[in-house]
Amino acid sequence: MGNVLEVRSLSKSFGGIRAVRDVSFDLKRGEFLALIGPNGAGKTTCFNMLNGYLRPDTGSVKLLGRELVGIPPRKVWRMGVGRTFQITETFRSMTVLENVQMALISHNRRIFDLFSKATALYRDEALKLLELIGMAAQADRPCAELAYGDLKQLELAIALAHDPDLLLMDEPTAGMAPNERIALMQLTADIVARGHVSVIFTEHDMDVVFAHSHRILVLNRGELIAEGTGDEIRANALVQEVYLGGGSLFHEKETAHA
């Protein structure tokens, strides 16, 4: 199968900080790729360049052969890239269901509709997505009341609404209880297993990373220092060194930062 995403020599500096340096990688269809690295390694910056929130200083990002650099996030989304955020971004004055409906309304290009009742549009599809992530029972709750973990889950439902080819998940489980984490990542893995969507996710919880990802990229100070399967990464001396500040790679504690 061909590559969904081809990233070549991506770099970005903020003032003097070289947040991402010369990062290149490919992503296959149906692949579940983890992007790991210590705090400040440049993971979020990388994501922001992949879907248009930041313009890279150099480099190229090709989605199914089409260049993404220079295209604003809203258009990248229309080309089939979904995104969840490290710090959740939802419409807090709407219900859970309405949040998903808004993505569907936008996908169907009806946001300038002045007359239809928004809450009546794409209800069933939205409910189906909520069922998929196990939040159907919360459909009518105001988003502002949700626990942080639930918001993270809701973001996944929103990101899946337009049936993307590529999903970028920035720390999808941060702030969740351990059992919730396992459930969410299992669910994501199931979706990936259907073979249509490819996922790149960042994560600090190594158990999650090793349990599900097909392949792992390790970023340190903006540079890609290793790439491989879980076993290869575990055995990699350089990665050990980066992570060995306070104990083994397997017990790396998630540093809470939202």
Ligand X SMILES: Nc1ncnc2c1ncn2[C@@H]1O[C@H](COP(=O)(O)OP(=O)(O)OP(=O)(O)O)[C@@H](O)[C@H]1O
- Sites of contact with ligand X (CB under 6 A): 14, 17, 19, 37, 39-45, 86, 257
Q: Return the range that interacts with other proteins (CB under 8 A); candidates 5-13, 102-110, 128-136, 231-239.
A: 102-110
- Find which of ligand X, other proteins, Mg ion, none residue 17 binds, CB within 5 to 8 Å per kind: ligand X
Q: Provide the minimum distance between the beta carbon of 155 and other proteins in the complex, in angstroms, as a whole number.
A: 9
**The two three-digit tokens of residue 212, written as one number:** 């599900």
Question: Is 85 near other proteins (CB under 8 A)?
Answer: yes
Reported as half-sphere exposure (CB side, CA atoms, 13 A), residue 133 has a value of 29
Task: Tell me the C-alpha distance between 128 and 145, whole Å.
Answer: 21
User: Residue 71's Cα: distance from chain center in Å?
Assistant: 19
Q: Provide the minimum distance between the beta carbon of 175 and other proteins in the complex, in angstroms, as a whole number.
A: 17
Question: Is 124 near other proteins (CB under 8 A)?
Answer: no
Total of chain residues touching other proteins, rule CB under 8 A: 39
Gyration radius of the chain's alpha carbons = 18
**Residues in 83-102 that interact with Mg ion by CB under 5 A:** 86
User: Residue 102's Cα: distance from chain center in Å?
Assistant: 19
168 DSSP β-pair partners? 83, 200
**CA 179 vs CA 149, 155, 183, 209: distances in Å:** 11, 18, 6, 15
Return all residues near 235 (Cβ < 8 A) that are at least 6 apart.
none
Task: Tell me the C-alpha distance between 43 and 45, whole Å.
Answer: 5
Interface residue with other proteins among 78, 128, 196, 253 (CB under 8 A) is 78
- Residue with Cβ nearer ligand X (43 or 215): 43
**Residues in 29-68 that interact with Mg ion by CB under 5 A:** 43-44
Interface residue with other proteins among 28, 107, 123, 221 (CB under 8 A) is 107
Question: Is 94 near other proteins (CB under 8 A)?
Answer: yes
- Residue with Cβ nearer other proteins (115 or 194): 115
- Find which of other proteins, Mg ion, ligand X, none residue 142 binds, CB within 5 to 8 Å per kind: other proteins
Short-list 227, 230, 210, 202, CA closest to 38: 202
Task: Tell me the C-alpha distance between 93 and 249, whole Å.
Answer: 41
Give the DSSP H or E segment for 151.
helix 148-160
Task: Tell me the C-alpha distance between 106 and 98, whole Å.
Answer: 12
Residues 161-200 vs other proteins: string with x where CB under 8 A? xx--------------------------------------
12 DSSP β-pair partners? 20
| Sites of contact with Mg ion (CB under 5 A) | 43-44, 86
| Sites of contact with other proteins (CB under 8 A) | 51, 72-75, 77-78, 83, 85, 89-95, 98, 102-103, 105-107, 110-119, 121, 142-144, 158, 161-162
